[in-house]
Copies of this chain bind each other. A is one copy, B any other.
Amino acid sequence: LDLALILPDDGPRGARLVEALREAILSGRLPLGAKLPASRLLAAQLDLSRGTVVAAYEELISEGYCTARVGDGTFVAVTSRPTPRREAAARIRLSRWGQRVIADSPVSADDQRPRIDFSPGVSPESFPAAALARALRRAVDRIDGMPAVGDPAGSRRLRAALVAHLGRTRGLRADPSQVVVVSGSQQGIDLSARLLLDPDDRLCMEEPGYPRARRAFQAAGATVTPVPIDASGLVTAALPADGARLAYVTPSHQHPTGAVLAPERRLALLQWAEAHDAWILEDDYDSEFRYGGPPLPCLQGLDRSGRCIYAGSLSKLLHPALRVGYLVVPPALVPAVIAAKQTLDQSTSMLTQEALADLFESGEIERHLRRASRAYRARRAQLLAALAATPLPGARVWPLTGGLHVFIELPGIAPTALRRAAERRGLGLVFGDDCFLREQPGTRLILWFGRLPVSAIAPGIAALAAAVGEATVRRLERPSELATTHPQQATAIGVGE
Protein backbone atom coordinates (compact mmCIF):
# COMPACT_ATOMS: atom_id res chain seq x y z
CA LEU A 1 0.00 0.00 0.00
CA ASP A 2 2.39 2.64 -1.17
CA LEU A 3 0.02 5.20 -2.71
CA ALA A 4 1.01 8.72 -1.71
CA LEU A 5 -1.99 10.80 -0.68
CA ILE A 6 -2.03 14.49 0.15
CA LEU A 7 -4.74 15.16 2.69
CA PRO A 8 -5.68 18.85 2.64
CA ASP A 9 -5.18 20.69 5.90
CA ASP A 10 -8.73 21.86 6.50
CA GLY A 11 -12.16 20.33 6.61
CA PRO A 12 -13.68 17.15 7.97
CA ARG A 13 -11.48 14.08 7.65
CA GLY A 14 -13.86 12.28 5.28
CA ALA A 15 -14.05 15.22 2.89
CA ARG A 16 -10.28 15.57 2.94
CA LEU A 17 -9.88 11.90 2.05
CA VAL A 18 -12.33 12.23 -0.84
CA GLU A 19 -10.41 15.21 -2.14
CA ALA A 20 -7.07 13.42 -1.88
CA LEU A 21 -8.37 10.35 -3.73
CA ARG A 22 -9.98 12.54 -6.39
CA GLU A 23 -6.63 14.27 -6.89
CA ALA A 24 -4.87 10.89 -7.23
CA ILE A 25 -7.41 9.79 -9.86
CA LEU A 26 -7.37 13.04 -11.81
CA SER A 27 -3.60 13.24 -11.84
CA GLY A 28 -3.42 9.73 -13.29
CA ARG A 29 -1.63 8.27 -10.30
CA LEU A 30 -4.64 6.02 -9.82
CA PRO A 31 -5.35 5.10 -13.43
CA LEU A 32 -8.55 3.77 -15.00
CA GLY A 33 -9.24 0.27 -13.66
CA ALA A 34 -6.94 0.55 -10.63
CA LYS A 35 -8.22 -1.06 -7.47
CA LEU A 36 -8.50 1.15 -4.43
CA PRO A 37 -6.89 -0.14 -1.23
CA ALA A 38 -9.10 -2.27 1.01
CA SER A 39 -10.95 0.16 3.29
CA ARG A 40 -9.62 -1.57 6.41
CA LEU A 41 -5.99 -1.17 5.30
CA LEU A 42 -6.37 2.45 4.24
CA ALA A 43 -8.16 3.28 7.47
CA ALA A 44 -5.31 1.76 9.49
CA GLN A 45 -2.69 3.54 7.45
CA LEU A 46 -4.32 6.95 7.68
CA ASP A 47 -5.47 6.50 11.24
CA LEU A 48 -9.13 6.99 10.27
CA SER A 49 -12.14 4.93 11.17
CA ARG A 50 -13.07 2.31 8.63
CA GLY A 51 -16.48 3.96 8.32
CA THR A 52 -14.87 7.20 7.15
CA VAL A 53 -13.03 5.38 4.38
CA VAL A 54 -16.12 3.43 3.30
CA ALA A 55 -18.11 6.69 3.18
CA ALA A 56 -15.39 8.34 1.09
CA TYR A 57 -15.43 5.44 -1.38
CA GLU A 58 -19.23 5.69 -1.61
CA GLU A 59 -18.96 9.39 -2.29
CA LEU A 60 -16.48 8.73 -5.15
CA ILE A 61 -18.81 6.05 -6.55
CA SER A 62 -21.75 8.48 -6.43
CA GLU A 63 -19.62 11.10 -8.22
CA GLY A 64 -18.76 8.56 -10.93
CA TYR A 65 -15.05 8.46 -10.17
CA CYS A 66 -15.25 4.83 -9.04
CA THR A 67 -17.34 1.72 -9.36
CA ALA A 68 -17.86 -1.07 -6.84
CA ARG A 69 -17.73 -4.72 -7.81
CA VAL A 70 -19.43 -6.83 -5.20
CA GLY A 71 -17.05 -9.10 -3.35
CA ASP A 72 -14.12 -7.68 -5.24
CA GLY A 73 -13.54 -4.06 -4.31
CA THR A 74 -13.69 -0.48 -5.51
CA PHE A 75 -12.16 0.47 -8.85
CA VAL A 76 -11.29 3.69 -10.65
CA ALA A 77 -13.91 4.31 -13.35
CA VAL A 78 -12.59 7.41 -15.13
CA THR A 79 -9.66 8.18 -17.35
CA SER A 80 -7.20 10.54 -15.77
CA ARG A 81 -7.24 14.10 -16.96
CA PRO A 82 -3.91 15.49 -15.88
CA THR A 83 -3.98 19.15 -15.04
CA PRO A 84 -2.02 21.06 -17.65
CA ARG A 85 1.16 22.34 -16.04
CA ARG A 86 2.05 25.93 -16.32
CA GLU A 87 5.62 26.11 -17.53
CA ALA A 88 8.07 28.40 -15.80
CA ALA A 89 7.57 31.84 -17.23
CA ALA A 90 11.06 32.65 -16.04
CA ARG A 91 13.92 32.07 -18.43
CA ILE A 92 16.02 28.99 -17.78
CA ARG A 93 19.06 30.37 -16.01
CA LEU A 94 22.13 28.21 -16.59
CA SER A 95 25.65 28.60 -15.29
CA ARG A 96 28.34 29.73 -17.73
CA TRP A 97 29.45 26.09 -17.98
CA GLY A 98 25.82 25.14 -18.74
CA GLN A 99 25.55 27.82 -21.40
CA ARG A 100 28.72 26.58 -23.08
CA VAL A 101 27.61 22.96 -22.89
CA ILE A 102 24.23 23.54 -24.46
CA ALA A 103 25.62 25.82 -27.18
CA ASP A 104 27.90 23.02 -28.34
CA SER A 105 25.47 20.16 -27.88
CA PRO A 106 25.70 17.56 -30.67
CA VAL A 107 22.59 16.48 -32.54
CA SER A 108 21.33 13.25 -31.00
CA ALA A 109 21.74 10.15 -33.10
CA ASP A 110 18.90 8.64 -35.10
CA ASP A 111 17.38 5.63 -33.43
CA GLN A 112 16.70 3.66 -36.58
CA ARG A 113 19.54 1.30 -37.38
CA PRO A 114 20.63 1.59 -41.04
CA ARG A 115 20.92 -1.44 -43.30
CA ILE A 116 24.73 -1.27 -43.38
CA ASP A 117 26.01 0.60 -40.38
CA PHE A 118 29.56 2.01 -40.35
CA SER A 119 29.09 3.33 -36.80
CA PRO A 120 31.16 2.52 -33.70
CA GLY A 121 30.77 -0.80 -31.97
CA VAL A 122 32.50 -4.04 -31.15
CA SER A 123 32.49 -7.41 -32.84
CA PRO A 124 29.47 -9.39 -31.65
CA GLU A 125 30.85 -12.83 -32.53
CA SER A 126 33.93 -12.48 -30.34
CA PHE A 127 32.12 -10.98 -27.35
CA PRO A 128 32.56 -13.14 -24.21
CA ALA A 129 28.89 -12.94 -23.22
CA ALA A 130 28.78 -16.17 -21.22
CA ALA A 131 31.95 -15.34 -19.28
CA LEU A 132 30.74 -11.81 -18.53
CA ALA A 133 27.35 -13.07 -17.36
CA ARG A 134 29.08 -15.60 -15.07
CA ALA A 135 31.39 -12.93 -13.69
CA LEU A 136 28.42 -10.61 -13.04
CA ARG A 137 26.60 -13.47 -11.31
CA ARG A 138 29.62 -14.00 -9.03
CA ALA A 139 29.78 -10.26 -8.33
CA VAL A 140 26.05 -10.18 -7.45
CA ASP A 141 26.64 -13.08 -5.07
CA ARG A 142 29.34 -11.02 -3.35
CA ILE A 143 27.34 -7.77 -3.35
CA ASP A 144 26.70 -7.94 0.38
CA GLY A 145 30.42 -7.55 1.02
CA MET A 146 30.64 -4.45 -1.17
CA PRO A 147 30.78 -1.16 0.67
CA ALA A 148 27.80 1.18 0.47
CA VAL A 149 30.17 4.06 -0.11
CA GLY A 150 32.42 2.53 -2.74
CA ASP A 151 36.14 3.33 -2.82
CA PRO A 152 36.33 6.30 -5.21
CA ALA A 153 39.67 5.00 -6.57
CA GLY A 154 37.97 1.79 -7.66
CA SER A 155 38.26 -1.93 -7.01
CA ARG A 156 41.74 -2.88 -5.79
CA ARG A 157 41.63 -6.08 -7.82
CA LEU A 158 40.67 -4.30 -11.01
CA ARG A 159 43.33 -1.62 -10.55
CA ALA A 160 46.02 -4.27 -10.05
CA ALA A 161 44.78 -6.21 -13.09
CA LEU A 162 44.78 -3.07 -15.24
CA VAL A 163 48.34 -2.14 -14.27
CA ALA A 164 49.56 -5.65 -15.11
CA HIS A 165 47.68 -5.71 -18.41
CA LEU A 166 48.71 -2.21 -19.49
CA GLY A 167 52.29 -2.74 -18.37
CA ARG A 168 52.60 -5.81 -20.55
CA THR A 169 50.69 -4.63 -23.59
CA ARG A 170 51.25 -0.86 -23.50
CA GLY A 171 54.53 -0.34 -21.68
CA LEU A 172 52.70 1.55 -18.94
CA ARG A 173 54.76 2.04 -15.77
CA ALA A 174 52.69 2.53 -12.68
CA ASP A 175 51.74 1.19 -9.30
CA PRO A 176 48.07 0.18 -8.84
CA SER A 177 47.73 3.10 -6.40
CA GLN A 178 48.13 5.45 -9.39
CA VAL A 179 44.99 4.08 -11.07
CA VAL A 180 41.56 5.65 -10.57
CA VAL A 181 38.68 3.78 -12.19
CA VAL A 182 36.22 6.10 -13.94
CA SER A 183 32.93 5.64 -15.79
CA GLY A 184 34.34 5.53 -19.32
CA SER A 185 37.05 7.66 -20.89
CA GLN A 186 34.71 10.66 -21.31
CA GLN A 187 34.57 10.96 -17.53
CA GLY A 188 38.35 10.70 -17.40
CA ILE A 189 38.63 13.58 -19.86
CA ASP A 190 36.00 15.71 -18.13
CA LEU A 191 37.52 15.03 -14.71
CA SER A 192 40.97 16.07 -15.98
CA ALA A 193 39.49 19.21 -17.53
CA ARG A 194 37.79 20.22 -14.29
CA LEU A 195 40.75 19.41 -12.09
CA LEU A 196 43.42 21.06 -14.21
CA LEU A 197 41.83 23.80 -16.33
CA ASP A 198 40.51 27.17 -15.28
CA PRO A 199 38.48 29.34 -17.66
CA ASP A 200 40.81 30.97 -20.20
CA ASP A 201 43.65 28.49 -19.65
CA ARG A 202 45.20 27.35 -22.91
CA LEU A 203 44.66 23.76 -23.98
CA CYS A 204 46.42 22.22 -27.01
CA MET A 205 44.90 19.43 -29.01
CA GLU A 206 45.36 17.74 -32.35
CA GLU A 207 43.59 19.23 -35.38
CA PRO A 208 41.66 17.24 -36.47
CA GLY A 209 41.01 15.77 -33.04
CA TYR A 210 38.46 14.05 -30.84
CA PRO A 211 35.35 16.26 -30.72
CA ARG A 212 33.93 14.93 -27.44
CA ALA A 213 37.16 15.84 -25.67
CA ARG A 214 37.16 19.28 -27.25
CA ARG A 215 33.61 19.85 -26.04
CA ALA A 216 34.61 19.04 -22.45
CA PHE A 217 37.58 21.44 -22.63
CA GLN A 218 35.52 24.20 -24.18
CA ALA A 219 32.79 23.70 -21.57
CA ALA A 220 35.49 24.16 -18.91
CA GLY A 221 36.11 27.54 -20.51
CA ALA A 222 39.57 26.67 -21.83
CA THR A 223 40.98 28.33 -24.93
CA VAL A 224 41.55 25.49 -27.38
CA THR A 225 44.69 25.85 -29.52
CA PRO A 226 44.68 23.40 -32.43
CA VAL A 227 48.03 21.81 -33.37
CA PRO A 228 48.24 20.27 -36.86
CA ILE A 229 48.94 16.61 -37.49
CA ASP A 230 50.60 14.84 -40.41
CA ALA A 231 51.39 11.22 -41.27
CA SER A 232 53.70 11.05 -38.21
CA GLY A 233 51.05 12.40 -35.85
CA LEU A 234 51.07 15.66 -33.92
CA VAL A 235 53.47 18.19 -35.47
CA THR A 236 55.36 18.90 -32.26
CA ALA A 237 57.29 21.74 -33.92
CA ALA A 238 53.94 23.56 -34.09
CA LEU A 239 53.26 23.34 -30.33
CA PRO A 240 52.91 26.86 -28.92
CA ALA A 241 56.33 28.22 -28.02
CA ASP A 242 54.93 29.89 -24.92
CA GLY A 243 53.43 26.65 -23.58
CA ALA A 244 49.94 25.67 -22.45
CA ARG A 245 48.32 24.29 -19.35
CA LEU A 246 47.49 20.92 -20.90
CA ALA A 247 48.02 19.02 -24.15
CA TYR A 248 45.40 16.41 -25.03
CA VAL A 249 46.83 13.81 -27.43
CA THR A 250 46.09 10.41 -28.97
CA PRO A 251 49.65 9.33 -29.79
CA SER A 252 49.14 5.61 -30.37
CA HIS A 253 46.40 5.98 -32.96
CA GLN A 254 45.50 9.57 -33.64
CA HIS A 255 41.78 10.28 -33.61
CA PRO A 256 40.47 10.43 -36.26
CA THR A 257 43.33 10.01 -38.77
CA GLY A 258 44.99 6.92 -37.28
CA ALA A 259 48.49 8.42 -37.52
CA VAL A 260 51.01 6.99 -35.04
CA LEU A 261 53.11 9.58 -33.24
CA ALA A 262 56.76 9.09 -34.28
CA PRO A 263 59.24 8.19 -31.47
CA GLU A 264 61.28 11.41 -31.82
CA ARG A 265 58.07 13.47 -31.59
CA ARG A 266 57.09 11.63 -28.43
CA LEU A 267 60.29 12.79 -26.80
CA ALA A 268 59.78 16.31 -28.19
CA LEU A 269 56.26 16.44 -26.74
CA LEU A 270 57.50 15.32 -23.32
CA GLN A 271 60.31 17.89 -23.43
CA TRP A 272 57.88 20.64 -24.41
CA ALA A 273 55.61 19.69 -21.49
CA GLU A 274 58.53 19.71 -19.07
CA ALA A 275 59.84 23.04 -20.37
CA HIS A 276 56.45 24.72 -19.99
CA ASP A 277 55.23 22.95 -16.84
CA ALA A 278 52.28 21.54 -18.84
CA TRP A 279 50.22 18.41 -18.28
CA ILE A 280 49.83 15.79 -21.01
CA LEU A 281 46.55 13.89 -21.20
CA GLU A 282 47.26 10.76 -23.26
CA ASP A 283 44.06 9.15 -24.55
CA ASP A 284 44.99 5.58 -25.49
CA TYR A 285 41.47 4.83 -26.62
CA ASP A 286 41.91 1.86 -28.97
CA SER A 287 45.51 0.70 -28.97
CA GLU A 288 44.59 -2.88 -28.10
CA PHE A 289 44.24 -3.59 -31.79
CA ARG A 290 47.26 -3.23 -34.09
CA TYR A 291 47.75 -4.70 -37.54
CA GLY A 292 51.45 -5.35 -38.18
CA GLY A 293 54.51 -4.11 -36.34
CA PRO A 294 54.92 -4.23 -32.59
CA PRO A 295 52.66 -1.92 -30.61
CA LEU A 296 54.48 1.30 -29.73
CA PRO A 297 54.60 1.72 -25.96
CA CYS A 298 52.49 4.50 -24.55
CA LEU A 299 53.81 7.98 -23.85
CA GLN A 300 53.23 7.47 -20.12
CA GLY A 301 55.91 4.76 -20.12
CA LEU A 302 58.46 7.28 -21.42
CA ASP A 303 57.46 10.09 -19.10
CA ARG A 304 60.16 10.66 -16.47
CA SER A 305 58.85 13.89 -15.00
CA GLY A 306 55.34 12.96 -13.83
CA ARG A 307 53.41 15.10 -16.32
CA CYS A 308 51.54 12.40 -18.17
CA ILE A 309 47.97 11.37 -17.36
CA TYR A 310 47.02 8.18 -19.15
CA ALA A 311 43.34 7.65 -20.03
CA GLY A 312 41.78 4.50 -21.42
CA SER A 313 38.63 2.43 -21.26
CA LEU A 314 37.18 -1.02 -21.74
CA SER A 315 34.82 0.30 -24.42
CA LYS A 316 36.82 -1.11 -27.34
CA LEU A 317 38.36 -4.07 -25.54
CA LEU A 318 34.98 -5.28 -24.23
CA HIS A 319 31.93 -3.07 -24.77
CA PRO A 320 31.03 0.60 -24.38
CA ALA A 321 27.77 -0.29 -22.60
CA LEU A 322 29.89 -1.23 -19.55
CA ARG A 323 31.00 2.41 -19.04
CA VAL A 324 34.28 1.56 -17.34
CA GLY A 325 37.48 3.46 -17.97
CA TYR A 326 40.57 4.48 -16.03
CA LEU A 327 43.02 7.26 -15.42
CA VAL A 328 46.61 6.44 -14.52
CA VAL A 329 48.11 9.54 -12.96
CA PRO A 330 51.43 10.67 -11.47
CA PRO A 331 51.61 9.81 -7.74
CA ALA A 332 51.49 13.45 -6.72
CA LEU A 333 48.15 13.89 -8.48
CA VAL A 334 46.43 10.80 -7.01
CA PRO A 335 44.76 12.46 -3.97
CA ALA A 336 43.26 15.23 -6.12
CA VAL A 337 41.90 12.78 -8.69
CA ILE A 338 40.33 10.63 -5.97
CA ALA A 339 38.73 13.68 -4.33
CA ALA A 340 37.43 14.79 -7.73
CA LYS A 341 35.97 11.36 -8.53
CA GLN A 342 34.21 11.33 -5.16
CA THR A 343 32.65 14.73 -5.86
CA LEU A 344 31.65 13.77 -9.40
CA ASP A 345 29.79 10.52 -8.71
CA GLN A 346 31.26 8.85 -5.62
CA SER A 347 32.58 5.77 -7.43
CA THR A 348 32.07 3.60 -10.50
CA SER A 349 29.81 0.54 -10.11
CA MET A 350 31.68 -1.88 -7.86
CA LEU A 351 29.48 -4.67 -9.23
CA THR A 352 30.78 -4.12 -12.76
CA GLN A 353 34.34 -3.53 -11.57
CA GLU A 354 34.47 -6.77 -9.61
CA ALA A 355 33.09 -8.72 -12.56
CA LEU A 356 35.77 -7.20 -14.81
CA ALA A 357 38.49 -8.01 -12.27
CA ASP A 358 37.34 -11.65 -12.46
CA LEU A 359 37.63 -11.60 -16.24
CA PHE A 360 41.17 -10.23 -16.09
CA GLU A 361 42.31 -12.62 -13.35
CA SER A 362 40.91 -15.70 -15.05
CA GLY A 363 42.73 -14.88 -18.31
CA GLU A 364 39.39 -14.38 -20.05
CA ILE A 365 40.31 -10.86 -21.19
CA GLU A 366 43.53 -12.10 -22.78
CA ARG A 367 41.72 -14.91 -24.57
CA HIS A 368 39.05 -12.47 -25.70
CA LEU A 369 41.70 -10.05 -26.96
CA ARG A 370 43.13 -12.78 -29.18
CA ARG A 371 39.71 -13.76 -30.54
CA ALA A 372 38.68 -10.15 -31.11
CA SER A 373 42.01 -9.35 -32.83
CA ARG A 374 41.36 -12.17 -35.28
CA ALA A 375 37.84 -10.88 -35.89
CA TYR A 376 39.07 -7.34 -36.55
CA ARG A 377 41.96 -8.47 -38.75
CA ALA A 378 39.48 -10.28 -40.97
CA ARG A 379 37.24 -7.21 -41.16
CA ARG A 380 40.20 -4.91 -41.88
CA ALA A 381 41.47 -7.18 -44.68
CA GLN A 382 38.01 -7.25 -46.21
CA LEU A 383 37.68 -3.47 -45.91
CA LEU A 384 41.04 -2.78 -47.57
CA ALA A 385 40.27 -5.28 -50.33
CA ALA A 386 36.88 -3.65 -50.92
CA LEU A 387 38.39 -0.15 -51.02
CA ALA A 388 40.98 -1.42 -53.53
CA ALA A 389 38.32 -3.09 -55.66
CA THR A 390 35.90 -0.15 -55.52
CA PRO A 391 37.87 3.03 -54.94
CA LEU A 392 35.93 6.01 -53.62
CA PRO A 393 36.11 8.79 -56.22
CA GLY A 394 38.43 11.59 -55.13
CA ALA A 395 39.05 10.15 -51.67
CA ARG A 396 42.15 10.14 -49.49
CA VAL A 397 42.14 7.02 -47.30
CA TRP A 398 44.45 7.18 -44.28
CA PRO A 399 46.52 4.06 -43.45
CA LEU A 400 44.69 1.52 -41.32
CA THR A 401 47.46 0.45 -38.94
CA GLY A 402 45.32 -0.16 -35.88
CA GLY A 403 42.05 0.39 -34.12
CA LEU A 404 38.52 -0.11 -35.41
CA HIS A 405 38.06 2.71 -37.91
CA VAL A 406 39.54 4.25 -41.03
CA PHE A 407 39.55 7.96 -41.78
CA ILE A 408 38.60 9.07 -45.29
CA GLU A 409 38.85 12.59 -46.64
CA LEU A 410 36.56 13.67 -49.49
CA PRO A 411 37.73 17.18 -50.30
CA GLY A 412 35.32 17.77 -53.17
CA ILE A 413 32.04 16.75 -51.55
CA ALA A 414 29.51 18.57 -49.41
CA PRO A 415 28.37 16.64 -46.32
CA THR A 416 24.66 17.21 -47.03
CA ALA A 417 24.84 15.74 -50.54
CA LEU A 418 26.67 12.64 -49.27
CA ARG A 419 24.32 12.29 -46.31
CA ARG A 420 21.30 12.21 -48.61
CA ALA A 421 22.93 9.79 -51.07
CA ALA A 422 23.95 7.48 -48.21
CA GLU A 423 20.53 7.56 -46.58
CA ARG A 424 18.88 6.48 -49.83
CA ARG A 425 21.18 3.45 -49.83
CA GLY A 426 20.54 2.52 -46.18
CA LEU A 427 24.11 3.38 -45.24
CA GLY A 428 24.92 4.53 -41.70
CA LEU A 429 27.88 6.93 -41.81
CA VAL A 430 29.77 8.88 -39.16
CA PHE A 431 30.90 12.26 -40.47
CA GLY A 432 34.21 13.53 -39.14
CA ASP A 433 33.61 17.19 -39.79
CA ASP A 434 33.24 18.08 -36.12
CA CYS A 435 36.79 16.78 -35.54
CA PHE A 436 37.98 20.18 -36.75
CA LEU A 437 37.93 23.26 -34.60
CA ARG A 438 38.19 25.40 -37.70
CA GLU A 439 35.63 24.82 -40.41
CA GLN A 440 37.06 22.91 -43.36
CA PRO A 441 36.01 22.58 -47.00
CA GLY A 442 34.79 19.22 -48.27
CA THR A 443 33.82 16.39 -45.95
CA ARG A 444 35.33 13.40 -44.22
CA LEU A 445 34.13 10.08 -42.92
CA ILE A 446 35.10 7.92 -39.98
CA LEU A 447 34.28 4.40 -41.15
CA TRP A 448 33.91 2.14 -38.15
CA PHE A 449 34.18 -1.54 -39.01
CA GLY A 450 34.27 -3.27 -35.60
CA ARG A 451 30.59 -4.13 -35.44
CA LEU A 452 29.89 -4.75 -39.13
CA PRO A 453 29.57 -8.39 -40.26
CA VAL A 454 32.44 -9.35 -42.59
CA SER A 455 29.90 -10.18 -45.29
CA ALA A 456 28.48 -6.64 -45.21
CA ILE A 457 31.79 -4.89 -45.78
CA ALA A 458 32.17 -5.29 -49.57
CA PRO A 459 28.51 -4.36 -50.29
CA GLY A 460 28.87 -1.48 -47.87
CA ILE A 461 31.91 -0.08 -49.64
CA ALA A 462 30.24 -0.56 -53.03
CA ALA A 463 27.20 1.38 -51.81
CA LEU A 464 29.45 4.04 -50.33
CA ALA A 465 31.36 4.41 -53.59
CA ALA A 466 28.06 4.84 -55.43
CA ALA A 467 26.90 7.42 -52.87
CA VAL A 468 30.18 9.33 -53.16
CA GLY A 469 29.88 9.19 -56.96
CA GLU A 470 26.32 10.48 -56.81
CA ALA A 471 27.24 13.30 -54.41
CA THR A 472 30.09 14.26 -56.77
CA VAL A 473 27.89 14.18 -59.87
CA ARG A 474 25.17 16.20 -58.17
CA ARG A 475 27.69 18.81 -57.32
CA LEU A 476 28.84 19.06 -60.93
CA GLU A 477 25.30 19.04 -62.31
CA ARG A 478 23.69 21.53 -60.00
CA PRO A 479 26.20 23.91 -58.53
CA SER A 480 23.90 26.87 -59.04
CA GLU A 481 21.08 25.37 -56.97
CA LEU A 482 23.43 24.67 -54.09
CA ALA A 483 24.97 28.12 -54.41
CA THR A 484 21.54 29.69 -54.14
CA THR A 485 20.10 27.74 -51.26
CA HIS A 486 23.22 26.93 -49.23
CA PRO A 487 25.81 29.57 -50.01
CA GLN A 488 28.21 28.38 -47.33
CA GLN A 489 28.20 24.78 -48.48
CA ALA A 490 28.63 25.86 -52.07
CA THR A 491 31.69 27.81 -51.07
CA ALA A 492 32.99 24.83 -49.19
CA ILE A 493 32.60 22.39 -52.06
CA GLY A 494 34.02 24.90 -54.49
CA VAL A 495 37.39 24.51 -52.82
CA GLY A 496 39.46 21.60 -54.03
CA GLU A 497 38.20 21.71 -57.60
Interface residues, chain A, CB within 8 Å of chain B? Answer: 2-7, 9, 27-29, 45-47, 82, 85-90, 92-98, 101-102, 104-106, 108-109, 119-122, 124, 127, 129, 132-133, 136-137, 140-141, 143-144, 146-152, 167-171, 173, 182-184, 186-187, 190, 194-198, 201, 212, 215-216, 219-220, 245, 263-264, 277, 279, 293-298, 301-302, 304-307, 315, 319-323, 330-333, 335-336, 338-340, 342-352, 369, 451
User: In the complex, A394 Cα to B88 Cα: how many Å?
Assistant: 48
Give A296 to B20 CA distance when docked, in angstroms.
Answer: 12
**A212-B346 in contact given A82-B173, A335-B102, A336-B102 (Cβ < 8 Å):** yes
- Distance in angstroms from A49 CB to nearest chain B CB is 16
Complex Cα spacing A148 to B342, Å: 26
User: Does the CB pair A85–B335 fall under 8 Å?
Assistant: no
Say how far A220's CB is from chain B's closest CB, in angstroms. 8
Q: What's the least CB distance linking A28 to chain B, in Å?
A: 7
- Shortest Cβ distance from A315 into B: residue: B148
Q: Enumerate chain B residues within 8 angstroms of A339, measured Cβ to Cβ.
A: 101-102, 104-105
Are A186 and B344 in contact, with the CB atoms below 8 A?
A: yes
Contact A335 B296 (CB under 8 A): no
Q: Are B186 and A297 in contact (CB under 8 A)?
A: no
Copy tally for this chain in the complex stands at 2
A216 contacts which chain B residues (CB < 8 A)? 343
Contact sample, A vs B, 25 pairs, CB 8 Å cutoff: A2-B169, A2-B295, A4-B168, A4-B170, A6-B302, A9-B263, A27-B301, A28-B167, A85-B173, A93-B245, A93-B279, A94-B336, A95-B194, A95-B220, A96-B198, A97-B198, A98-B340, A108-B338, A129-B143, A137-B137, A143-B319, A148-B320, A186-B344, A319-B351, A322-B351
Question: A97's contact among B127, B167, B195, B351, by CB below 8 Å, is which?
Answer: B195
Look across to chain B and name the residue whose beta carbon is closest to the beta carbon of A262.
B9
- One of B29, B45, B97, B119 near A171 (C-beta < 8 A): B29
- Which one, B6, B124, B141, contacts A144 given CB within 8 A? B124
Contact of A101 among B28, B195, B297 (CB under 8 A): B195
State A66–B151 Cα separation when bound (angstroms): 40
Q: A195 to B219, alpha carbons, bound, how many Å?
A: 11
Contact in complex: B96, A173 (CB < 8 Å): no
A109 and B195 form a contact (CB under 8 A): no
Indicate if the CB atoms of A106 and B183 lie closer than 8 Å: no
Task: Tell me the smallest distance from the CB of A229 to a CB of chain B, in Å.
Answer: 21
In the complex formed, the residue of B with least CB distance to A46 is: B294
Chain B residues positioned under 8 Å from A102 (CB to CB):
335-336, 339
Pairwise interchain contact A88-B305, C-beta atoms closer than 8 A? yes
> A94, B129: Cβ atoms under 8 Å?
no
- Asked if B194 and A345 make an inter-chain contact with CB atoms under 8 angstroms apart, the answer reads no
- Pair A137/B148 contact, Cβ less than 8 Å: no
* Contact present for A323 and B348 (CB under 8 Å): yes
A201 and B183 alpha carbons, distance in the complex (Å): 29
Known: A92-B333, A195-B101, A348-B323. A148 touches B122 (CB 8 A): yes
Distance between Cα atoms of A216 and B95 in the complex (Å): 15
Q: How far is the CA of A173 from the CA of B93 in the complex (A)?
A: 22
- Per the bound structure, the CA–CA distance linking A5 and B297 in Å amounts to 7
A158–B97 alpha-carbon span in the complex (Å): 28
Q: Contact: B190 with A344, CB < 8 Å?
A: yes
Contact with A127, one of B98, B144, B173, B196 (Cβ below 8 angstroms):
B144
Supply 13 further A-B pairs (C-beta < 8 A) apart from A27-B167, A45-B293, A101-B343.
Answer: A7-B294, A28-B167, A47-B293, A86-B304, A95-B197, A102-B339, A105-B338, A109-B147, A150-B320, A182-B345, A190-B344, A219-B343, A323-B345
Chain B residues, CB < 8 A from A129: 140-141, 143
Partner of A85, one of B4, B293, B306, B352: B306
Distance between A251 CB and nearest chain B CB, rounded to angstroms: 13
How many Å from the CB of A204 to the closest CB on chain B?
A: 16
Q: For the complex formed, measure the closest distance between the CB of A249 and the CB atoms of chain B, giving whole angstroms.
A: 17
Closest to A103 in B: B339
Known contacts A98-B195, A305-B86, A321-B350: A133-B140 contact under CB 8 Å = yes
Which residues of chain B are within 8 angstroms of A97 by Cβ–Cβ distance? 194-195, 198
Give A3 to B171 CA distance when docked, in angstroms.
8
Q: By the criterion CB–CB under 8 Å, are A346 and B186 in contact?
A: yes
Q: Across chains A and B, which 7 residue pairs bring their CB atoms closest together, nearest first?
A: A88-B306, A105-B339, A187-B345, A120-B148, A4-B171, A98-B195, A124-B144
Q: A122-B148, A346-B186 are in contact. Are A196 and B320 (CB under 8 A)?
A: no
Q: Which of B149, B194, B347, B349 contacts A98 (CB 8 A)?
A: B194
